[in-house]
Amino acid sequence: MLTYNRKTKKLEKAESFILPTSDEIIWFHIKNQSFKQTFDSILQELHIHPLAKRFMETFNEIPKVNIYKNEAVISIFSIEENYQPIKINILVGKNFIITREQDSNLHLLSEIVKDLEENPEHMSHTGYILYQIIQKASHEFLHAIDEIADEIQALEKSVFKDPFENEIGKTAYRWKVKLHDLRQIIEPQESAIKSIGQSEFPYTNEDSGFYFQDLQHNYSRIISALDTFIENMASIFNLQLSLKADHTNTIMKTLTLVSVIFIPMTFIAGLYGMNFENMPELKWENGYFYVLFVIFGLGCGIALYFRKKGWWGKKKSEQTK
């Protein structure tokens, strides 16, 4: 527990919950392993609304702000390195903040403690502590957005390397689902921050309200990025289908051109393969070599014609560029 004294402007640490005086502001973080026992002991000293107690004991599926007579419960999300959302519950009153996280290994709150120890004045009002917590959560999302952008760029490159790789389409679909789930979290979290930044919210002052308004720009950027990423996933899927079709068409084109080259050869071979007695060419001394010359001449001529037209290989004008 961190306790800030407004008179002495000093910050102190404590292991157990102590009810703050009128000159003190406290931040107490409860670990999941001991939540029930610790929270029950806190309830004996803090007379909070039964609904506030219930919302602190359970994690909401979406970010939400619930305001009661003497306290408010705020449910927000942060994000882990594997892009897994982590839920955080915040109980805030006039001079206290109590937090609980879904994953006790989250480094987010430990970073905030370090910042508060270095800058005790950041605990001079509950609004500033709230800002520190939500700001760190937004920075985690922004960092994740940058990493996701790199992942998507690598996925786009892999499409061009091997468009027939089926795993690319599966990966794009999984990313699309994950990005959609993140957006479903970020959008209501942005609304929750707007409500906290309003002057009607009882546990922020005018100065901290300005900071929350600035945080809204971060979440607008996150939402915009997620929308772009979702569109990119659809584009990657369509790109792979297009490259597959293009590659298939190239194969079919090559097979067709090869068959066109051999059609006249097959015709000549079939013509002189007929077993009629009255075929003068069969009695030519060098007829066999004449036919071979005609067959290979036709094949080379057709191949050169295709190349000149640009249907097979590259045109000479393109090669000289």
Cα separation, 19 vs 96, in Å, equals 9
Looking at 3.90.380.10, 1.20.58.340, 3.90.1150.10, 1.20.1540.10, the CATH number of the domain 2-242 comes to 1.20.58.340
Q: How do residues 240-299 score in pLDDT, each as one tens digit?
A: 778 778 778 888 888 888 888 888 888 888 887 777 777 777 777 788 888 888 888 888
What lies within 8 Å, CB to CB, of 32 at 6+ separation is: 100, 101, 102, 103, 104
From first to last of its 321 residues, the chain has per-residue pLDDT tens of: 788 777 888 888 877 777 778 888 888 888 777 777 777 778 777 888 888 888 888 888 889 898 888 889 999 998 887 888 888 899 988 888 888 887 755 566 777 888 888 887 888 888 888 888 888 888 889 999 999 999 888 888 888 888 777 788 788 888 888 999 999 999 899 888 888 887 678 888 878 778 888 888 888 889 999 999 888 888 888 887 787 787 788 888 888 888 888 888 888 888 877 777 777 777 777 888 888 888 888 888 888 888 887 777 665 555 544
Spatial separation of the C-alpha atoms in residues 284 and 294, rounded to whole Å: 15
Same fold, 2-242 and 246-319: yes
* 3-class SS shares of the chain: helix, strand, coil, % to 5: 60, 15, 25
CA distance 259 to 302: 11
In sequence order, the 6+-apart residues with CB closer than 8 A to the CB of 306 are 257, 260, 312
Spell out the domain ranges in the chain. 2-242, 246-319
- The CATH T-level fold of domain 246-319 is Methane Monooxygenase Hydroxylase; Chain G, domain 1 (1.20.58)
- Cβ–Cβ under 8 Å, residues 108 and 136: yes
**What is the per-residue DSSP string for 195-222?**
HHHSTT-TT--HHHHHHHHHHHHHHHHH
Single-letter residue type at 164:
F
Burial class of 233 by CB neighbour count within 10 A (0 to 12, 13 to 18, 19+) = buried
Q: Strand, helix or coil at 13?
A: strand
CB-side neighbour CA atoms (13 Å) of 302? 15
* CA dist., res. 11 & res. 2, Å (int): 7
Angle formed at CA 132 by CA 76 and CA 120, multiple of 5 degrees? 145
